[in-house]
Amino acid sequence: MRLSKSFVPTLKEVPNDAVVKSHILMLRAGMIRMLSAGIYSFLPVGYKVIKKISQIIREEMDAIGGQEFHLPALNPREIWEETNRVEAFGDILFHVKNRDYVLAPTHEEIMTYHARNVLKSYKDLPQIWYQIQTKFRNEARPRSGVIRGRQFLMKDAYTFDATWEQLDIAYGLHDKAYRNIFDRCDLKYFVVGASSGAMGGTGSEEFMVKSDAGEDTVAYCEHCGYAANVEVAESKVDGKKRDDKSEDVKEISTPNVKSIDELCEFLKIDETQCAKSRVYIFESKPVLILMLGNDEVNESKLEKVLGGIIRPAHPEELKDITGADTGSIGPIGFGGRIIADLRLKDANNLYSGANKNDFHLGGIDLVRYVKDIEYADLRIVKSGESCIKCGNQLDVFTAIELGHIFKLGTKYSVAMGANFLDENGKENPLIMGSYGIGVERVMACYIEQHNDENGMIWDKALAPFQVHLLALNMKKLPVVDASEKIYNDLNNAGMEVLFDDRIDAQAGFKFNDADLLGMPVQVIVGERKLRENKVEVKIRKTGDRFDVELKDLINRIKEIMK
Ligand code: ATP
Ligand code: MG
């Protein structure tokens, strides 16, 4: 491809609405342009990467027996009503105004629609159906460029099986295919087991990459590979040991002391002697949560323990509920359910609020004074704590979800009446799985992981072009002749070449663009080196530069690309 005739609008400056590295670089390299919030156009060079990723996905899906479909994005709403997902998706779903259509955010319903009445017998199973297709989701705050778009490409696959054992096999095949795909794309990723209660399934895993641009927080152990969303992550931490002797309860005046740190400072005690109180409302009733020291309440864990949605009590409500404001609340005299974190199990000699402003109590013994107290793991794990599995240090960081594999079970087949006859002639709902990969996310995550201060760094697998050929001065005839010949030879050798043949661009400008676009190999044709029948070759990844004789060039590049 000749740059002089192509649309590759590179930018020198960082666009001011972009903060995430991949977003900035994709805009600067002229790979994407925003059309509207969360809606992006892919320009020719960017789209080449999307096609390469799609091809890798296609090859790996075909290798596990996947059959490629192409389903419509415009769906009759009534099909989505069958599974109640018009309501479940809520504001995320785009509706088409003039007819009863929705724009599909995913395709479980449509695949099940095609499976229904067609996959009639166990003999028709198993099936793996997939597509690489556009999805629409009215995401609340689209940001980070194509990482969270309102329109995006997804590889979505769906499996139909007769038995749960077959589903395990289909799930395992996808797990393997996903690892192959992300390995081939040269992504550093890890797999997080997720509980999938709310979606009605029986098992699921998320493929994640560590990134500041991520919206999920995960705990990860480099040593044993333990990985979990912080919503469910656990760690090994000591609790407060029960002292042999319980002191008497004493009321202490603590004027203006609100936080645990202020209490420790005021009484010259350690935070591990304090029980922090938090009040939540569950089913219109207050629940007091006790945490050791500065531990934070993990609201997802709490919702799981209580079995429903909670909300923190408003500051205005606290006085009515406890008799005190935030900072002076505690377990003794609290009229309601009390749940303490496991680190406080059977603890004594604790300090906590007195349910009276500006007073705290010491000598609290949870066994003696807090009847009916319950215990549960309610903490948010922190970086540096010990891994629950192997005891090594946990790292807590934000991450981006690249893909998701999911044992759906029979949720959709039951809702839509998609049944088959088993070996005994008995009618059963199809057993399903669903498996997604965000194609643009793969590209953005690759860029997040492979860049430097000058731009992107592509490897062979995803590079839009293998070679970036720079003719430094297209006004000099020898340079024109030599670079035209190299361009032809490289093309004939089957390589993809981006040829900077622009006449008016300065050499420095061409160098900057080449580094920004980041093709693996740069071939630099200049007048001076040509006099010795040489060109300069630069490896983008390492920055190595060396001269190569013209006659050796093609073979040399072939070698490098191996
Ligand atoms: P997230 O938690 O990031 O919103 P999700 O759980 O909604 O993701 P799925 O419904 O499992 O995502 O979709 C499968 C894959 O599609 C995701 O793993 C992700 O790679 C991609 N994806 C989901 N939403 C978007 C989006 N708004 N923009 C780009 N890719 C997306
Ligand atoms: Mg989502």
Q: Coil, helix or strand for 287? A: strand
Cβ distance 420 to 121 under 8 Å?
yes
| Alpha-carbon gap, residue 142 to 145, rounded angstroms | 8
Beta strands 534-539 and 67-68, pairing class = unpaired
Q: How many residues does the chain have?
A: 562
> Shortest CA distance to 353 belongs to which of 334, 375, 376, 378?
334
Distance in Å, CA 89 to ligand 2 centroid: 10
Cα-to-centroid distance, 299 and ligand 1 (Å): 23
Atom number of ligand 1 nearest to Cα 402: 20
How far is the C-alpha of 190 from the C-alpha of 179, rounded, in Å? 9
Q: Name the token pair of 162.
A: 């007769």
| 292, pLDDT greater than 60 | yes
Q: Are 233 and 436 in contact (CB under 8 A)?
A: no
Nearest CA to ligand 1 atom 23: 438
Mean pLDDT of the chain: 95
Phi (first) and psi of residue 342, to 5 degrees: -55, -25
Identify whether the C-beta of residue 247 lies closer than 8 Å to the C-beta of residue 254: no
User: Residue 546: beta bridge partners?
Assistant: 537
pLDDT of residue 215: 87
In this structure, what is the dihedral angle of CA atoms 16, 21, 23, 27, given to the nearest 10 degrees?
70
**Are the CB atoms for 335 and 360 separated by under 8 Å?**
no
* Listed residue (305, 307, 351, 304) closest to 329, CA to CA: 351
Q: CA dist 21 to 12, 13, 394, 447, Å?
A: 15, 13, 26, 8
Extract the tokens encoding 375: 């215990």
Ligand 1 mean position to 156 CA, how many Å?
11
CB 148 within 8 A of CB 414: no
The answer on pLDDT for 275 being more than 70 is yes
Q: Tell me the C-alpha distance between 238 and 342, whole Å.
A: 10
Residue 197 has pLDDT above 70, yes or no: no
Cα separation, 448 vs 356, whole angstroms? 52
78 C-alpha to ligand 2 centroid (Å):
22
Give the per-residue pLDDT at 345: 97
Which numbered atom of ligand 1 lies nearest the CA of 137? 27
Whole-angstrom distance between the N-terminal and C-terminal Cα of the chain? 22
Nearest CA to ligand 1 atom 22: 438
Cα Rg of the chain, angstroms: 30
Ligand nearest to the CA of 153: 1
Nearest to 515 by CA among 529, 498, 496, 528: 498
Give nearest CA residue, ligand 1 atom 8. Answer: 401
Specify the pairing of strand 285-292 against strand 275-282: antiparallel
Distance set, CA 337 to CA 90, 192, 301, 380, 520 (Å): 33, 33, 17, 21, 62
Q: If you measure from the C-alpha of residue 432 to the centroid of ligand 1, how many angstroms do you get, rounded to a whole number?
A: 19
Distance 130 CA to ligand 2 centre (A): 20
Residue nearest to atom 30 of ligand 1 (CA): 438
- Which amino acid, residue 144? S
Predicted pLDDT at 175: 97
pLDDT 10s digits, 473-502? 999 999 999 999 999 999 999 999 999 999
pLDDT at 198 over 50: no
Q: Which two tokens stand for residue 555?
A: 């073979």
- Which ligand is nearest to the Cα of residue 135, counting in written order? 1
pLDDT tens-digit readout, 310-345: 999 999 999 999 999 999 999 999 999 999 999 999
Ligand 1 centre to CA of 438 (Å) is 6
The residue whose CA is least distant from atom 13 of ligand 1 is 436
Is residue 362 within 8 Å of residue 330, measured between CB atoms? no
H/E stretch holding 60? helix 44-63
Q: List, chain by chain if needed, residues with CB within 6 Å of any ligand 1 atom.
A: 106, 137, 139, 148-149, 152, 154, 401-404, 436-438, 440-441
pLDDT confidence of 200, banded at 50, 70, 90? very low
Q: Name which of 538, 536, 562 is nearest 549 in CA terms.
A: 536
Q: Which atom of ligand 1 is least distant from the CA of 149?
A: 28
Mutate to test the pocket of ligand 1, among 150, 154, 178, 182 (most ligand atoms within 8 A of CB): 154
Residue nearest to atom 26 of ligand 1 (CA): 148
**Residue with CA at minimum distance from ligand 1 atom 19:** 438
Calculate mean pLDDT across residues 398-413.
Answer: 95
Cis ω before 255 (30° cut-off from 0): no
Taking alpha carbons only, the member of 344, 314, 316 closest to residue 331 is 344
Closest atom of ligand 1 relative to the 156 alpha carbon: 14
Q: Rounded mean pLDDT of 256-283?
A: 96
Closest to 12 measured CA to CA, from 513, 545, 562: 513
Ligand 2 centre distance from Cα of residue 74 (Å):
19
Checking if the pLDDT of 117 tops 90, the result is: no
pLDDT band of residue 194 (cuts 50, 70, 90) is low
Pocket test residue of 138, 404, 434, 437 for ligand 1, highest count of atoms within 8 A of CB: 404
**pLDDT at 4 (0 to 100):** 96
Task: In whole angstroms, give the CA distance from residue 296 to residue 301.
Answer: 11
> For the whole model, what pTM was predicted?
0.86
Mean pLDDT, to the nearest integer, of 218-239? 92
Strands (E), 56-187: 67-68, 74-76, 94-96, 101-103, 127-136, 151-161
Helix, strand, coil distribution of the chain in percent, nearest 5: 30, 30, 40
pLDDT of residue 202: 62
pLDDT digits (tens, 9 = 90+) for 140-179: 988 899 999 999 999 999 999 999 999 999 999 999 999 9
Ligand in closest contact with the CA of 138: 1
| Ligand sitting nearest the alpha carbon of 199 | 1
Listed in sequence order, the residues at least 6 apart from 287 whose beta carbon sits closer than 8 Å to its beta carbon are: 279, 280, 281, 306, 310, 336, 337, 338, 339
The bound ligand whose nearest atom lies closest to the alpha carbon of 106 is 1
CA angle 245–251–255, rounded 5-degree value: 130
pLDDT at 300 over 50: yes
Q: How far is CA 362 from CA 133, 256, 274, 341, in A?
A: 62, 17, 9, 19
Give the pLDDT band of residue 195 (cuts 50, 70, 90).
low
